Amino acid sequence: MDLLTLKSHAKVNIGLQVLDQRKDGFHNIHTIFQELEFHDIVTLEKTDEGCELSSNDKSFPLDSTNTCAKAYTAILEQFPNLDGIKVHVEKNIPQGAGLGGGSSNGATVLKGINELFELGLSVAELQELGQEIGADGPFFIRGGTQLGEGIGEKLSIINIKFDFVLLLVLPPVFISTAWAYNELKNGLEERVEKAKFADLFRRDIIPFELFKNDFERIVIPAHPEIGKIKDALINNGARFTSLSGSGSTVFGMFDEETAAKAAESIISSDYRTLLTCPIHS
């Protein structure tokens, strides 16, 4: 096999608590990662040497900073005699939207190279390599619904059937994750008690009002339209609404597809929207 095409899925965070800042400068977090059907398409093709990147998106970086290139480099360190790879990413997931598109692309390349070259790396080994491409990299190796701790690399599978339809609202706003963490750290308390999101998920009736995203308190004042989108989703029937990651995507969770489509018909006149569903591992 010389060619392989894979889906590279997006994610949302259902609740995101930012805890203490670590000695390495990163922050510990507590979150529920949920993989979505919404995806990019990654095509991998064997070449003689190196990593050649291309994309339909002009803003997609084509150098060593790209997560796909980082994935190839990480595997090359373990398999120095590995041949080259050509990677084309058909982008649908916007950058800087809190949907994990970059980490997903890199993780998909890790899995793709492992399959294409029959390297035999285990899920755990791929997750360890995933840490080198981004904080969300390890999550995308397995996907589904997982509790994320540490900087996102400490993962626990949550076995729950998640039947909501999600309406994603994507405003034309780029939010830098580095900026968001820098702004947020000024308001962090010395000791923060974890919300134990996984336990909340296992209740018969999920108390979504307890799933807070800490980034909202700095993103909404800086970008008031984020707050307006949240209000519009709630006013049009969303069971729960939140910023994903540090944004800028806002999502609403609906019990029925008909209700989600009705809300989309109203909100889509002002913003790019799309309907999607959760993926279960």
Q: pLDDT tens digits for 46-97?
A: 999 999 999 999 999 999 999 999 999 999 999 999 999 999 999 999 988 8
Q: Do 70 and 47 touch, CB atoms closer than 8 A?
A: no
How high is the pLDDT of residue 187? Answer: 61
Reported confidence tier of residue 267, pLDDT bands at 50, 70, 90: very high
Domain shared by 14 and 151, yes or no? yes
Domain shared by 137 and 260, yes or no? no
Per the model's pLDDT, the better-predicted residue between 209 and 257 turns out to be 257
Domain shared by 90 and 169, yes or no? no
DSSP structure class, residue 209: G
| For residues 178-186, average pLDDT | 81
The catalytically annotated residue of 11, 91, 111, 230 is: 11
Residue 2 among the catalytic residues: no
pLDDT at 7 over 80: yes
Q: Do 65 and 29 touch, CB atoms closer than 8 A?
A: no
- CA-CA distance, 203 to 154, in Å (whole number)? 23
Reported confidence tier of residue 183, pLDDT bands at 50, 70, 90: confident
Q: Which domain holds residue 226?
A: 165-276
| For residues 120-135, average pLDDT | 95
Residue 11 among the catalytic residues: yes
CA distances from 27 to 91, 152, 199 (A): 29, 10, 22
Boundary residue ending a domain (127, 157, 187):
157
Residue 17 has which token pair? Answer: 């608590």
| For residues 121-141, average pLDDT | 95
pTM: 0.92
Domain shared by 14 and 144, yes or no? yes
Beta-carbon contacts of residue 59 (< 8 Å; ≥ 6 apart)? 95
Tell the residue number behind the tokens 């609906």, with chain if given.
Answer: 254
Provide the domain count of the chain.
2
How high is the pLDDT of residue 209? Answer: 77
Roughly what angle, to the nearest 10 degrees, separates helices 123-130 and 67-78?
Answer: 120
Domain shared by 91 and 188, yes or no? no
- % of the chain at pLDDT higher than 90: 73
C-alpha angle 98-103-106 in degrees, rounded to nearest 5: 155
| CATH number of residue 87's parent domain | 3.30.230.10
The per-residue pLDDT of the chain, averaged, comes to: 91
The catalytically annotated residue of 70, 91, 111, 136 is: 136
Reported confidence tier of residue 191, pLDDT bands at 50, 70, 90: low
Boundary residue ending a domain (125, 141, 157):
157
Per the model's pLDDT, the better-predicted residue between 28 and 115 turns out to be 115
